[in-house]
Structure 1
C-alpha cells in the first residue's frame, strides 16, 4: 500500500520520486498561551553529557544515528537515544530505543524554544528528514529536534519489511485490483508480521498513542520547558493526538497535509483524491492553452479509469537500474493511484492523461514503474508502525462497505473493483486481518479541541490528505490560523517557498503568521503536446 508520506527532494525527469509513487504501507486540554519569540541570546538545546530520565524513560547522549541517505544537516548535530517502555501498560517489560538528533539554530542569537519535527508515513524516519527541515529554513533561529518514531529506520528495533516493498515493486507487472494480487499482498504482509513477532516485538504497542507519549518523555528528559511542534502528513495525526494527550509545555503547533484522527482511514482518501484531482483539473481549465488542448480533462480521466479496469493496458518501459525493459500493466486502480502521487508533477499531468487516452501509456508507465522500482522504495518504511496505526486505529472503526460508499459518492462512475481499493491503501482490511493487533480505544479518534496556537496548512493539489481536512480540524482549534497554499501537492512545506515563509513566521509569532506571499502565487504552466 502507498503510505501517506511527503515527497523527498524534487528530481528532474519523468519518473516520480519513490516517496511519491512507492507502494508500501504513503489526537484536549488548553495549552500554554504563546508569546512572540524575541531575538534573545537563547540557549542551545544540547542533550548534554549525562543520562537524563523522564519517569520510565531515559535519554543518553551519543553519536548520530545511521540514515538511509547521507544527511548533511546532521553535521554538528547533538545526538543520543531515548529508551522507553515498548508497552506503557507493562512499564517493567521490554524497552526500545529511539534515536534523537538536535540540529542547532543557524544563528547564535536564537529563540529558546525549539521545534520538534513529527515525520509522516506512518513509518517514515524523522532523523532522515532533517535535510528537508533545514533546507526549508526551519532552523533559521530555533534548534530543531528529530526523534525516530518507534519502529522506524533509526530506532531499535527496526520494524521494516523489505519483502513487502519488494512485492510492491513487482506489482507494476500485475493487475493492480485483481483478487490474485490481493492474496499475494496479504501473503507478504503475513510473512513480515510472523518475522517481527519471532523477534518478540509487541506489534500492538506500535501506535500513535505510544508515539505521542514518547515525545512527551523526550521533552522532559531533555529539560525543555516548552517547545513547538511541526508535523507533516501522518505526523499531523500524531501532532493532534499529542495536543490532546500531552498539551503541557507546547507553545505552538504547525500541521501540514492534515490527516485528522477522527477521519483517518480509507474513506477520507477518496475525498482527498477527488479534491486534489479537481484542483489540478480546474487549474488546467483556467489556463486557455491547457483548456483548449485538453478539454474535459476530468471526464477523460474518469472514463479512462472505467475503460482500463475492464481492459488493462500492458506496455514495456526502460527504468534506470533495471537490466532490461520492465513490463507495466495499467488498470483503473493503477491510474487512480498514479494520479494521487502525480499531482506533485502537475505540469505534465494533462499531457500524460491525454497521451494515454490516445493509446500511448509510456509517460504514465515510466513514472509508475520508476517510483516503485527505485532503490529508495525498499527497506526504509516501518511497516510495523504503519500497520499498528492502520489496523489498531483505522480499520476497527471503518468497514470495507463504508470505504466503497465513500468512493462512490465522489466518483459514481468508477467500477466497484476500483472503489474497493482506496487510493494509497489497497487490500487494507485484508492486510489488517493478517496483522492481528488489538483495536485501540475509540478515544483515539476523538475530535481534538485545543486553544494552543496552531498553523493548519493544506495544499490545493493535495490528493493524499484532502485540502478540506484543514478547515475541518480548525473548527475546534480556537486559535488556529488556517491556510491553503494553492497549486502544490501533499505537504506544502516541501514544495512551496511561500509555505516555508508562512511556517517560519508562524513560529516567530504564532498568532500573527505572515501569509502575504499567497497573493503572488500562480499555477504551473501546463505542458502542451505539439
Structure 2
C-alpha cells in the first residue's frame, strides 16, 4: 500500500544486502501556459485564480530529503478550500513543483500522484527523475492535502515514535493494540485541537485538488502517473474529473473498489509465491533452500507460538535495540523484503537455523531510522482508511481473506492485515464519517491507460492490475516479472515502457520484457 514502506525497505534493507521561481504574470487574466509550447510563460510561473482555487508562484516546497531535482524547478502553491462544501471557510495550501523536461518539451506535461496514503509527492521528485520521466515532458509534483510539503502537514510524529517502540512488543491486540489505538487517538486529538477538519482529508477532495491545479496552471491537457495509493486516487480522479486527461499510468495498482485489508492478504500470497517460485526455478537456489515456501510458513506459525527476542545495532544510537520477531512481524518483514528479493532465501534459512539477526535488522531499520519520523501524513492516511476503506469491509472479512490466503496461519496473525495492524480499532478512534458509497465504484473509462504490476508485489497484488484493466477499454496491462511493488522505482524496463506510453499511449514499446531474468539469489556458503 504505502510507497513510504517501499522506499524505506529498499533504502534500509539494501544497506544490509530549490530553486525559487519569479512571479512573471499575476491575475486571472493571464494567458494559458502550455508546457514548452512557446505560448505564454513557462508552466508554473503564472499566478491564476480559478473558482475558489488560486495558484501562486513562489519558493519551492520543503522536502524530507535533499532533492537535487528541485534545482531549476518552477515552484509555487495551490490554495484551495479545506472543505469544498464550505468554500468560504478554512483554506489550505499545497506545495507545487514543476520540473522542466530534460530535452524536447511536449505540450502535455505529466502530473505525479504519490502513494501512501500520506506520502509527499514533492519528496518523490528524485524517484521520478531517476527513471527519466521528464525526458520529453515537464513533470508536475503537488503535495496531496495534509502531506509533508502542504500546510497544514498532518504528520503526527508520535505515531512514528510508537511504531519504533512497538518493535520490542508482540502484535497483541489486548496490550499492543490498545497502545496503538492510544497513539492514533492522541494524533486525532492534537490535529482537532489545531482546528483541522479531519473529514476533509480524503481521496475525493484530493482528486478535486488536482482538477483545480490543471486549470489554475493553464494546462489544456496533461497525463497522470500514479503509484501505489496514487493509483486509487488516479482511478477516482479519471472517473470524477476526466476533462483534460490525455492518458493515465498506474503502477502498483490499488483499485478503490478493492482497497482495504483483504486485498493485502491476497497481495502477500501472490507476491510471496512469485518470489518463492523464482527461487525454486533456479537450480542453485532450489538446492540450497528447498521448500522455501513451506519453511517460511512453518516459521510464521512457530514464531507466533514462541517469539524470538534479539538485539540489533542501530546506527546513531549508543545501545542496541531489542526486537521481538513473532509470526506477524515475519509476515510484515517479507512484504517489505520483496524489494530486496535476492537476499530473502538466505535470510529465511538463517532464521530457520536460529540466526534471526539479518531479519531483525531489516525489520527494525525502517522504523528506527530518523527518516521514519515525521514524514508520513497520518491525517490523510486515516482519512482515507477510515472514510473509504473500513466502512466497506468488516474485520471479519479481512480475517477470512487471511485464512484463504494462508490456511496454516493462526488467527492472531491473520487478525492484522499486512502493514495495517489494528486498523478497525484505530478507525473507531479516528471517528470520521464514511464516504459516499460511490467512492468504491469501479472506474469505466476510454482514456488510454498503462496498468503496471510487479510479479513480486506483496502490497497490492499483481492480479489487481488485471482487475482494474477490465473496465478501461483502451488499457495496456503488463506484469513486470521479478520486481516488487511500484515497478517504475526498480525496473529500467518499466521506466522505458512508461516513457514510451506517454509518447504513444495506444502503442507503448514493450520489447524490453523479452529479456528480463530473475535476480541471482544469494547462496550462503
Tell me if TM exceeds 0.5.
yes
RMSD (Å), alpha carbons: 1.8
In 2, the alpha carbon distance for the partners of 1:194 and 1:16 equals 38
Partner of 2:28: none
Partner of 1:77: 73
Partner of 1:510: 505
Partner of 1:477: 472
Report the CA distance shift for 1:398/1:13 in structure 2 as closer, same or farther (over 3 A).
closer
1:284-433 residue pairs with structure 2 within 5 A? Answer: 284-433=279-428
- Residue 168 of structure 1 deviates from its aligned partner by 0.2
In 1, the alpha carbon distance for the partners of 2:267 and 2:39 equals 41
In 2, the alpha carbon distance for the partners of 1:6 and 1:359 equals 27
In 2, the alpha carbon distance for the partners of 1:94 and 1:48 equals 25
Partner of 2:26: none
1:125 aligns with 2:136: no
1:232 aligns with 2:232: no
Partner of 1:211: 206
1:98 to 94, 99, 117: 94
- Residue 415 of structure 1 deviates from its aligned partner by 0.4
In 2, the alpha carbon distance for the partners of 1:13 and 1:420 equals 26
Report the CA distance shift for 1:234/1:60 in structure 2 as closer, same or farther (over 3 A).
same
Contact residue 3 and residue 425 of structure 1 kept, 8 A: no
Report the CA distance shift for 1:412/1:45 in structure 2 as closer, same or farther (over 3 A).
farther
Partner of 2:271: 276
1:458 aligns with 2:453: yes
In 2, the alpha carbon distance for the partners of 1:318 and 1:396 equals 41
| Higher RCO (CA 8 Å, separation ≥ 6 residues) | 1
Contact residue 44 and residue 143 of structure 1 kept, 8 A: no
In 2, the alpha carbon distance for the partners of 1:277 and 1:4 equals 20
1:57 aligns with 2:32: no
In 2, the alpha carbon distance for the partners of 1:517 and 1:348 equals 25
In 2, the alpha carbon distance for the partners of 1:204 and 1:254 equals 28
TM-score of the aligned structures, taking structure 2 as reference length: 0.94
Contact residue 44 and residue 112 of structure 1 kept, 8 A: no
2:45 to 38, 48, 61: 48
Contact residue 6 and residue 490 of structure 1 kept, 8 A: yes
- Residue 317 of structure 1 deviates from its aligned partner by 1.1
In 2, the alpha carbon distance for the partners of 1:371 and 1:8 equals 5
- Residue 7 of structure 1 deviates from its aligned partner by 2.0
Report the CA distance shift for 1:303/1:13 in structure 2 as closer, same or farther (over 3 A).
closer
Deviations 1:34-68 (A, max 9, x none): xxxxx97788752224x311211111111101111
Q: Which consecutive residues of structure 1, in runs of 5 or more, have no partner in the other structure?
A: 18-38
TM-score of the aligned structures, taking structure 1 as reference length: 0.93
Report the CA distance shift for 1:472/1:68 in structure 2 as closer, same or farther (over 3 A).
same
- Residue 110 of structure 1 deviates from its aligned partner by 1.7
- Residue 428 of structure 1 deviates from its aligned partner by 0.1
Partner of 1:21: none
- Residue 177 of structure 1 deviates from its aligned partner by 3.5
Contact residue 2 and residue 425 of structure 1 kept, 8 A: no
Deviations 1:153-185 (A, max 9, x none): 010001001000000011111112452111110
Report the CA distance shift for 1:276/1:334 in structure 2 as closer, same or farther (over 3 A).
same
Report the CA distance shift for 1:42/1:233 in structure 2 as closer, same or farther (over 3 A).
farther
1:195 to 190, 199, 216: 190
Partner of 1:7: 7
1:150 aligns with 2:109: no
- Residue 321 of structure 1 deviates from its aligned partner by 1.6
Q: Which consecutive residues of structure 2, in runs of 5 or more, have no partner in the other structure?
A: 18-35
Contact residue 4 and residue 424 of structure 1 kept, 8 A: no
Report the CA distance shift for 1:45/1:408 in structure 2 as closer, same or farther (over 3 A).
farther
Report the CA distance shift for 1:445/1:158 in structure 2 as closer, same or farther (over 3 A).
same
In 1, the alpha carbon distance for the partners of 2:84 and 2:200 equals 8
